[in-house]
Chains A and B, each alone.
Chain A
Amino acid sequence: MKTKRFIVNCACHVLLAILSIIWVLPIFYVILTSFREEGGSYKSYIWPRGFTLKNYTDLMSGGSDINFPRWFLNTLVIAIFSTVISAFFVLCVSYVMSRLRFKMRKTYLNIALILGMFPGFMSMIAVYYILKGLGFLETGLLKQIALVIVYSAGSGLGFYMAKGFFDTIPKSIDEAAYIDGATKWDTFIHVTIPMSKPIITYTLITSFMGPWVDYIFAKVIMGNDTKYYTIAIGLWTMLEKEYVEYYYTQFYAGCVLISIPISILFLLTQKCYVEGVTGAVKG
């Protein structure tokens, strides 16, 4: 019995090791290439001939066209604002849908489901003209506000995960709060929210990712205003034909640099994610 368990355990660990190598290898390659000394794009070998930090220093010094530090800051600001707004929206909507019962509830659930089925950027062109009509495309700063609005406005539709989580919190906890004289609002703010760290984390992560990944909306709204580009369109620009030969290694350096803050955030929230769930939500 004991030996059998030992073998199974070993097999599991070996499997995990192989899998994690598969998952880490591409990341390792990106890091490796970001330190490559030789310029140019594709090479007939994998291991770089020489290592240098020049890719990073060049990238961070910024230029007129390729201004990486500026893009980084742009994206960070946009991501922070839209994360706060969309996390707030998502939590509000999912709490309402999970806990409160009112007339239009089923209607809202069905409409949300239906809207989620349309391709997101089918509406992009109309959104562009609405923003233009509202005067949001006049200056770079307004364009950035427009991006924040675009990223967070529709977030009230992405409540399924959080609603599923709230559904698993025992109702008796709410009822106990009502008996103690709390209003529904108090219960939401002081009882449910503190117990929902894991799902708040999840919501924050997913909404924070949005602006870093999206490039279509950013591209459509920013146009050729390179100064106000977000990281995604910026990096995309670096792979374009006129830049790729010179910026290939710097592109990888950029990839590494933007992954660092997100990874740090992720590791912080990861802790919260794992600890939060087990302790908090018990009936």
Chain B
Amino acid sequence: MGIFKKKQEATYTKPSDASVAQAFKHGDQTTKLSFFIFGLGNLMNKQIVRGVVFLLLEIGYLAYMIGFGIHSIGDLITLGTVEQGQTYNEALGIYEYSLGDNSMLCLLYGVITLFLTAAFIFVACMSGKSAYATQFRKERKMPVPTFKDDLRSLKEENLHSLLLALPIIGIIVFTIVPLVFMILIAFTSYDHEHQPPGNLFEWVGLQNFVAMFANGSKLASTFWPVLSWTLIWAVFATFSCYILGLMLALLINRKGTRIKGFWRFMFVLSVAVPQFVTLLSMRTIFNANGPVNVLLRTLGAIGETESIPFFTNPLYAKITIICINIWIGVPFTMLSTTGILQNIPAELYEAARIDGASAPTIFRKITLPYMVFVMTPNLITSFTGNINNFNVIYLLSGGGPDTVDYYYAGKTDLLVTWLYRLTITQKDYNLGAVIGILVFIILAAVSLLTYRHTGSYKDEGAFQ
């Protein structure tokens, strides 16, 4: 079936869906040239605006490459060769610094140039395809779309390009380019001893990864405990909030509950307070001299000068953090699940009731599958979000209590907060980048597996 379908498509290809290879194979002289002189095919066929846009893009790229790009590719390979010099100026009696190469900027500009080149190749393909589409239509005496038609198509069959253009540009510039940059740093020696502009750093291959896993090294003996706590935290934080939040939503939404708005208000109140504020006040509330300890002292539960080490004992700190996270997360889940609960088609319930289903059956057969269907992607994102939950840990315990067994990490540090310490405090950017990549690998493994098995990925239309 699959093969047959493909063949059929090949014979009836719409010109706009032609692949680059097809365009190159079946294209005439002009079309082939359009891969190198952008917009040629369009210009020859009176699609002036389209052609000019293509041409301008090409000229812009070439100007950039000649002026700056080629040089920066060279720098990317060497990461700078001229070290910052220091010479004694006898006339003035001071040390003068001669400007050296900045390895970090070399790397950054190199990455940007690579991305521009990728964009250039993409535009080249677009130009060729566009020229082929025009040629195709001309050969069959079909009308060649004018610029106006192009604009109109943006509202119909090309709506996705219109709506996605800006978000995708934002993502590429502020997420993908920086990420590639940081990934590359994992393979360099950019640590606290190699700080540009004073020092150069260089490519070191997999050395940082080896150091992270070397048996008995301090890094390895930090990494494994921190990793296991990160996973424990993520599982507890995600599921406790989800289950309790769903239960709370059901409790409020059940038929017998009066003054639903009031109850919802009580919980929403804590969501309304910015999380940052909540976390900082929680930190003071559970402080050694904070109100919780004061309360316990007045009640006589602990001695007059004693205090429960909420953040200074490793185990207590972990429990405290998970509990505070429940306090923060449950109302959020309650809010989002309430919306979805009310969105379940009422007909489903009516039909079930007519068939004589009991309340638990209705819950099991309708409410739960529906919730799981809608919420699973959300659950996965919240799991990954919790593995990367910087704010809660950093603002509550700051990763502490600190320990000398670890390499600049505390007992409640997650991989991300450790990453933060390594980069911001310790300036070991390469180690930070290694941790980032490892976090990514863990999350990728966990979530691609689970996500692909969820109903809403496999069968998006199930409830449509």
Contact = CB atoms under 8 A, between A and B. Distances in A.
A16 B263 contact: yes
A249 to B, nearest CB: 11
Interface residues of A, number: 105
Given A44-B294, A184-B155, A116 B463 contact: no
A216 B390 contact: yes
A223 interface: no
Give the interface centre of A113, A171, A214, A262 by most chain B CB atoms within 10 Å. Answer: A113
A23 B327 contact: yes
B160 A96 contact: yes
Given A20-B267, A161-B336, A188-B159, A122 B182 contact: yes
B119 interface: no
Contacts of B331: 23
A270 B274 contact: no
Given A23-B266, A100-B159, A167-B464, A119 B388 contact: yes
Interface in A76-102: 89, 92-93, 95-96, 98, 100, 102
A157 B278 CA distance: 26
Contacts of B416: 119, 121
Contact of A277 (B266, B290, B343): B343
B160 A160 contact: no
Q: From DSSP, what is the main secondary structure of chain B's interface residues?
A: helix
Give the interface centre of A43, A119, A121, A167 by most chain B CB atoms within 10 Å. Answer: A119
Contact of B343 (A149, A188, A281): A281
Given A23-B270, A130-B108, A213-B391, A164 B163 contact: no
A154 B432 CA distance: 21
A157 B381 CA distance: 11
Contacts of A157: 171, 175
B388 A120 contact: yes
A73 to B, nearest CB: 16
Contacts of A115: 171, 175-176, 179
Contact of B167 (A8, A23, A129, A156): A156
B464 A169 contact: yes
B273 A259 contact: yes
B373 to A, nearest CB: 8
A13 to B, nearest CB: 7
B252 interface: yes
Given A92-B164, A123-B182, A156-B171, A116 B274 contact: no
B342 to A, nearest CB: 5
Give the interface centre of B166, B167, B339 by most chain A CB atoms within 10 Å. Answer: B167
B450 to A, nearest CB: 11
Interface stretch (B82-90, B205-213, B399-407, B437-445): B437-445
Give the interface centre of B276, B285, B327 by most chain A CB atoms within 10 Å. Answer: B276
Contacts of B266: 20, 23-24
Interface stretch (B25-33, B131-139, B254-262): B254-262
A273 interface: yes
Interface in B139-180: 154-157, 159-160, 162-164, 166-168, 170-171, 173-179
B257 A123 contact: no
B256 A150 contact: no
Interface string A240-283: 00000000000110010011001100110010011001100111
Contacts of A232: 274, 276
B212 to A, nearest CB: 15
A164 B456 contact: yes
Nearest to B464: A171
A75 to B, nearest CB: 10
Contacts, number: 286
A160 B378 contact: yes
Interface in B440-463: 440, 443-444, 447-448, 451, 456, 460-461, 463
Interface string B240-260: 000000001001101011100
A165 B343 CA distance: 9
A123 B460 CA distance: 32
Contacts of A113: 447-448, 451
A46 B174 contact: no
Interface in B404-449: 415-416, 419-420, 423, 429, 432-433, 436, 439-440, 443-444, 447-448
A179 interface: no
B378 A125 contact: no
A43 B284 CA distance: 11
B92 interface: no
B460 A154 contact: no
Interface stretch (A25-33, A56-64, A137-145): A25-33
B282 A212 contact: no
Interface string B323-345: 00001000100011011101101
B62 interface: no
A243 to B, nearest CB: 13
Contacts of B17: 103
Contact of B177 (A30, A130, A165, A252): A130
13 contacts: A19-B248, A26-B270, A27-B269, A89-B170, A115-B176, A117-B440, A117-B443, A123-B182, A130-B108, A164-B374, A198-B343, A262-B273, A277-B342
